[in-house]
């Protein structure tokens, strides 16, 4: 067994998507003895703002409440969770960059719907292409109902109890 702890990266997006992704990520993390990193992206309008205080966007009260809920969820699963923040121009490129920087094994990324046919599929393909050389697994939560009423699912092994049963 490897001594290197695995990392699961979860992009923070809207509350519903992030909550669904976090539950799945925590189930995987518990199963694989991994840690979860939430990625908060601060999108800037001008490239010159990257790396400057103009690109830093303070956490809102709503985001802070969400972070408390996300931490409680991870605690319920018994997994470690941390927060990383990153300024960006393009969120999907930033997710791929963060995955490399954090050596994430699994990435949960929200790829928004598009009015342009095939654009979303192309964006997913591009992201997978950037993650593939390091054998990173991408989850986008495709297949859920548009209204979010059906929770996407992944298969994980059950957690082992302390008694070994």
Do 17 and 70 touch, CB atoms closer than 8 A? no
19 assigned to some structural domain: yes
> Cα-atom radius of gyration of the chain, to the nearest Å?
16
Distance CA 108, CA 11 (A): 6
The CATH number of the domain where 17 resides is what?
3.40.50.620
37 assigned to some structural domain: yes
Q: Which residues, 6 or more positions from 51, have their beta carbon under 8 angstroms from its beta carbon?
A: 87
124 assigned to some structural domain: yes
Helix (H) or strand (E) holding 24: helix 15-32
Q: What is the pLDDT of residues 108-124, one digit of tens each?
A: 999 988 898 799 999 99
**28 phi and psi, to 5 degrees?**
-65, -45
User: What is the average pLDDT value for the chain, to the nearest integer?
Assistant: 85
pLDDT of residue 32: 92
Distance CA 125, CA 153 (A): 21
Is pLDDT larger for residue 162 or for residue 125? 125
**51 phi and psi, to 5 degrees?**
80, 5
Q: Structural domain of residue 43, as residue ranges?
A: 7-139
- Where is average pLDDT lowest: 49-53, 102-106, 150-154? 150-154
Question: Both tokens of residue 83?
Answer: 């927060």
b/e map 31-63, b = 16+ CB within 10 Å? bbebbbbbbbbbebeeeeeeeeeebeeeeeeee
What confidence tier does 5 reach under pLDDT thresholds 50, 70, 90?
confident
pLDDT surpasses 80 at 48 = no
pLDDT of residue 47: 77
Q: How many domains does the chain have?
A: 1
pLDDT of residue 143: 59
DSSP for residue 25: H
| Mean pLDDT value across residues 135-147 | 76
Q: What is the pLDDT of residues 67-83, one digit of tens each?
A: 999 999 999 999 999 99
């Amino acid at each position: 067994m490897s001594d290197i702890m695995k990392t699961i990266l979860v992009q923070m997006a809207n509350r519903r998507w992030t909550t669904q992704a976090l539950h799945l990520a925590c189930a995987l993390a518990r199963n694989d003895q991994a840690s979860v990193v939430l990625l908060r992206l601060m999108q800037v309008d001008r490239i010159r703002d990257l790396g400057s205080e103009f690109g830093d966007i303070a956490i809102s009260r709503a985001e802070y409440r969400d972070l408390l809920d996300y931490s409680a969820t991870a605690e319920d699963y018994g997994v470690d969770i941390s927060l990383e923040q990153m300024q960006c121009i393009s969120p999907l490129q930033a997710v791929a960059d963060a995955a490399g920087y954090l050596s994430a094994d699994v990435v949960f990324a929200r790829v928004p719907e598009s009015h342009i046919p095939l654009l979303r599929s192309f964006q997913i393909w591009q992201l997978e292409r950037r993650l593939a050389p390091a054998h990173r697994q991408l989850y986008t939560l495709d297949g859920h109902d548009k209204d979010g009423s059906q929770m996407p699912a992944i298969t994980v092994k059950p957690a082992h109890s302390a008694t070994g049963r």
